[in-house]
Amino acid sequence: MVTKQQPEHIESAWNWFVSKYEKQGYRSLNQFAIATGMQKSSLSRYFHLEREIPSGTIGKLCKELKVSPEELLKAVGALGWPAKPTRSRK
C-alpha cells in the first residue's frame, strides 16, 4: 500500500518522469507506453505516486529512461523525501 504523498512530491515525480521520457525522444506517455509494452495507466499511477513500482519493472524503466535505479527510486520518493544525503564514514 502506498501512503498518500504531498502534492509537491507528486508533481515533482511526474515532472521528472515526463522530462526523462521526452529526453529519450518520446512525445507522449502513450508513445512511451507503446514502445515499452507497459500499460499507460500503470505508468501514470507509478509516477503520480498512487502505486509502488514493482521490482521487476524498475530495471525496464531505468534502461528505457537511461537512469540508474537509485535516481529512479529517489524520483518517486522510495529513498525518502527529500532524498537523504549519504553519510561519510570515518
Domains present along the chain, CATH in parentheses: 7-75 (1.10.260.40)
Q: What is the DSSP letter of 51?
A: S
88 has pLDDT over 90: no
Predicted pLDDT at 90:
54
pTM across the whole model: 0.79
Q: What is the mean pLDDT of the chain?
A: 86
When pLDDT is cut at 50, 70 and 90, the band that residue 83 belongs to is very low
Give the tens place of pLDDT for each residue, 68-82: 999 999 998 887 655
Q: What is the DSSP letter of 2?
A: P
Q: How far apart are CA 74 and CA 83, in angstroms?
A: 6
Q: How far apart are CA 29 and CA 22, in angstroms?
A: 9
The C-alpha cell at 44 is 501514470
